[in-house]
Chain A
Amino acid sequence: MPDDFQSTIEQRARVIATFKEELIRRLNLPYSAEDLHEDISLLGSGLGLDSLDALEIVLCIESCFKIKIPDQNIAILRSINTVVDHVLEQQARPGGAA
């Protein structure tokens, strides 16, 4: 595999693993990390989390990855993948969190 292809996978896999582990722990979800598909809807259908859970997810992201989630930006919280996209985007910015 080309290096950039493989490094994209590795970078993304690390963020996914961290986020899933924290999500399961903080919300006491009855699933393993492998059970959670990255496109699963976090709010409403899918995991069916409520507004309190959404707040916990925001805190989880902010503490795990040292980044801020803009107020009212629910688009970021639509799925694990959309969260991971935001984290990677923030980390790629100059001076972004590691």
Chain B
Amino acid sequence: MRSSLLKPQLAAAGASFRERHGAEVAARVAGRAAEYAAVRDAAGLTDFSFLHKFRAPAERGMDFLDALLAGNVPKIRFGRVLHTFLADDDGLLLGDCYVANNDEEFVFLCEGIAPDADLRALAQAAGAAEAGLEDLTDSHALLSVDGFKAWDVVREIFGADVLGLPYLSIEVYPFEGAPVRLLRAGKTSEFGYLLLAPQSVAPALFEALRAAVLKRDGCLCGVDAHDDLRLEGRFPNIQAEGLRVRDPLVLGLQWMIDLDKEKFRGRDAIHARRAGGLRRKIVGLAAEPGNDALVTGARIFHAGQPVGEVVADCHSFVLNQRLALAVFPVQLAYSGLSFRLGAAGGPVVKTISMPPIMPRSLTVKLDEM
């Protein structure tokens, strides 16, 4: 099993670990509620080194990545980041991806739901060697700073210049003489920054960020809290509903696809399903406070019949109720409806408009700081 470069630091901090598709991840450090609160009110530092991390020279890398991914890679402007996905030949999700156009190179981050060996074989078969794709997975750490005060944490480390970075952009900053690629990107609804750091400086950067986060009443986080934050902010989560559903059309991920592209992995299958019309769709659900039965796998009933299934769930600490995503037939996939949970006479759950919360970060204008 693949472990993070930062496992010693995380273990010393009391992290609990588990496996995700062949990689060891820090699941919890300070506790789910504390980590959630840190991100919503202050800042959290999370190790995302389990993602696959690559770079490729700009010219050869562009065509390679464009042939692989659903989004349009040549259209990514210098300094910007594209959020898209990698599918298999059946047009089903394999990876949630960021691709960054970093001037002379493309940086490619992939949160996969397939074993390492399968993804590497896929990349090789697609021409990774000819494209000059360099695998940074074992040589680099990937740290995520998220939260209402995340901007202040990265400003302390890298300077006020980071405040000018728009959402989904990339810039390189020196840290102890080594280049750190900083992507302004996150999936919590709060400010988010991903830092790709070489092994030589990763532990020192981790400690510097940790100190800056603690100074602002934040904490170290694990991936479990991110699952909650993603659902509450209605960011797609390939580890939750993505893994269970896998069809990007049912998941509502058409915005990640360039539908005019003539070639990408899984294209024909996706277009065939799209031409056939959407029959199922994912919708947000909320339970009454105190109803803890809204969990993944639960069935949803209407008029005495099962009509849907819960595919992701979380407890919203802000709303103090359970939230979920469920797949329904399209004719029932509307916000504002009441259904029964678990059985025809089960407790009432309601479909809701997502995202159901207003994050504090949306009230801050960094360009006015």
Interface of A toward B, CB cutoff 8 Å: 1-2, 5, 8-9, 12-13, 30-31, 34-41, 44-48, 74-75, 78-79, 81-82, 84-85, 88
Q: Is the CB of A45 within 8 A of B167?
A: yes
**Cα distance A44–B284 in the bound complex, in angstroms:** 20
Determine if B278 and A34 form an interchain contact, defined as CB atoms under 8 angstroms apart.
yes
CB distance from A24 to the nearest CB of B (A): 12
Residue contact B355 to A12, C-beta cutoff 8 Å: no
Complex formed: what's the CA distance from A30 to B256 in Å?
12
Name B249's closest neighbour in chain A (CB-CB).
Answer: A35
Contacts of B334 in A (CB 8 A): 8-9, 12-13, 38
Cross-chain contact of B259 among A2, A31, A47 (Cβ < 8 A):
A31
30 CB-based A-B contacts, threshold 8 Å: A1-B302, A1-B303, A5-B338, A8-B334, A9-B331, A12-B336, A30-B258, A31-B255, A31-B259, A34-B277, A35-B255, A36-B254, A36-B255, A37-B255, A37-B281, A37-B282, A38-B353, A40-B252, A45-B83, A45-B167, A45-B235, A75-B362, A79-B355, A81-B335, A81-B353, A81-B354, A82-B353, A82-B355, A85-B336, A85-B353
Shortest distance from the beta carbon of A61 to any chain B beta carbon, whole Å = 15
The A-contacting residues of B in range 200-244, CB under 8 angstroms, are 234-235
CB pair B254 A31 closer than 8 Å: yes
CB < 8 Å: which of A5, A13, A46, A74 contacts B362?
A74
Please count how many residues in chain B sit with their CB below 8 Å of the partner chain's CB atoms.
32
* A48 x B168 contact (CB < 8 A): yes
A residues in contact with B355, CB < 8 Å: 39, 41, 78-79, 82
Minimum-distance CB pairs A-B, first 6 = A37-B252, A81-B353, A35-B254, A39-B354, A75-B358, A12-B334
Least CB separation from A8: chain B residue: B336
The answer on a CB contact under 8 Å between A39 and B252 is: yes
B282 to chain A, nearest CB (A): 8
8 Å CB interface, B148-182 against A: 167-168
Q: Return the CB mask of B254-273 against A: 1 if under 8 Å, else 0.
A: 11001110000000000000
Q: What chain A residues lie within 8 Å of B278 (beta carbons)?
A: 34
Neighbouring A residues of B260 by C-beta, 8 Å: 30
Chain A residues with CB under 8 A of B259: 30-31, 35
- Tell me the bound Cα distance from A2 to B258 in angstroms: 40
Q: How long is the Cα–Cα vector from A45 to B71 in the complex, in angstroms?
A: 13
Other than the known A35-B254, A37-B254, A47-B255, what 8 A-B pairs have Cβ atoms closer than 8 Å?
A: A1-B302, A13-B334, A31-B254, A31-B255, A34-B277, A37-B255, A45-B83, A74-B362
**Residue picked from A13, A39, A47, most chain B C-beta under 10 Å:** A39
**Is there contact, CB below 8 Å, between A39 and B336?**
no
Across the interface, A79 reaches (CB within 8 A) one of B254, B274, B353, namely B353
How near does chain A come to B153, taking the closest CB pair, in angstroms?
A: 20
Does chain A have a CB within 8 A of B11?
no
Say if the beta carbon of B319 comes within 8 Å of chain A: no
Q: Is B235 a contact of A38 with CB atoms below 8 Å? A: no
B337 at the A interface (CB under 8 A): yes
CB under 8 Å from chain A, chain B span 45-61 = none
* CB <8 Å contact, A39 and B284: yes
